[in-house]
Amino acid sequence: MSAKAQSDDEKHAVLQRRIQFGYPLHAPPHPFREHNIFLITAATYKHQRILNTKQRRAVFQEDLHDSLRQIECELIAWVILPDHYHFLAEMSDLNDLAVLLQLLPGRNARKWNQEDLLTGQRKVWYRYTDRVMRNEVHLEKSFNYIHYNPVKHGYVNDPYAWQWSSLQVYLEQEGREWLQNCWRRAAPTGEFGKGWDD
C-alpha cells in the first residue's frame, strides 16, 4: 500500500510541527557534508529500567530535543527505552556533544530518585558510546537499528507501536512504504549493536 500524497498545506503543517519540536527536517539518506553524524547510545546503570513509565520517557525525550536544539545540531533519529536510548545527530563541534552528554543525564536523575525514594542510593546513568557514521550504508543501518530497537529488546512486537522514537515522525512525513524501502536497502544484521547495546 503506498502512502497518500500530501497537499502543500499538509506538507507545510508537518514541517512546522517538526520545527516546533526540533524533529529532523529531512530524512536520511542525505549527502555527507563537513559535519559528522554520530550514533550515540547511553544506558542506565546496570541497565535498570528507570525510565519505566510513559511520563518519564516523554519527559526525557523532550529534554533530549531541548538539549540538542541548544547546541544547534540536527537530530536525525532517536529512540528512548526504559534502560537506554539511542540517537543519530549531525554536528560540527565534538565539544558540544561532550557537554551535552555530561549535562543531559543529570536533568532528571535526581527527580527520579526522589520519586522512587532512592535519593543518594541509586546511580542512574552509567556510560555512553559514540560512533561516527562512516558512509551512507552505515547511516541507514543505524537509522533502521534505532527504530527496530524496541522490538529487539522485547518491549513491543511492532516498531510502529513504540511511541518514544522518531519512527512516527517519518511514518507521518514519508509513509510506511518509504520506511520499508529504507529497511530493505540497509537492514541491520544480527551482529549490529553487539558489544555496545547489550
Give helix 106-115 / helix 54-70 axis angle, nearest 10°.
Answer: 160
Residues in contact with 10: Cβ distance below 8 Å, sequence separation at least 6, in sequence order: none
- Collect the ranges in the chain with pLDDT lower than 70: 1-35, 93, 195-198
How do residues 91-141 score in pLDDT, each as one tens digit?
876 777 777 777 777 778 888 888 888 887 888 888 788 888 888 889 999
User: Residue 104 falls within a domain, yes or no?
Assistant: yes
Q: What is the pLDDT at residue 78?
A: 95
Burial grade of 170 (CB within 10 A; 0-12, 13-18, 19 or more): buried
User: Residue 191 falls within a domain, yes or no?
Assistant: no
Indicate which CATH number applies to the domain containing 178. Answer: 3.30.70.1290
User: Residue 88 falls within a domain, yes or no?
Assistant: yes
Q: What is the pLDDT at residue 198?
A: 54
User: Residue 197 falls within a domain, yes or no?
Assistant: no
User: Residue 192 falls within a domain, yes or no?
Assistant: no
Range of the domain at 177: 8-185
Residues in contact with 61: Cβ distance below 8 Å, sequence separation at least 6, in sequence order: 78, 80, 164
> What backbone torsions phi and psi does residue 84 show, to the nearest 5 degrees?
-170, 170
Q: Note the helical H segments in 77-166.
A: 94-103, 106-115, 136-152
User: Residue 194 falls within a domain, yes or no?
Assistant: no
Give helix 167-174 / helix 8-21 axis angle, nearest 10°.
Answer: 160
User: Residue 81 falls within a domain, yes or no?
Assistant: yes
User: Residue 198 falls within a domain, yes or no?
Assistant: no
What total number of domains does the chain contain?
A: 1
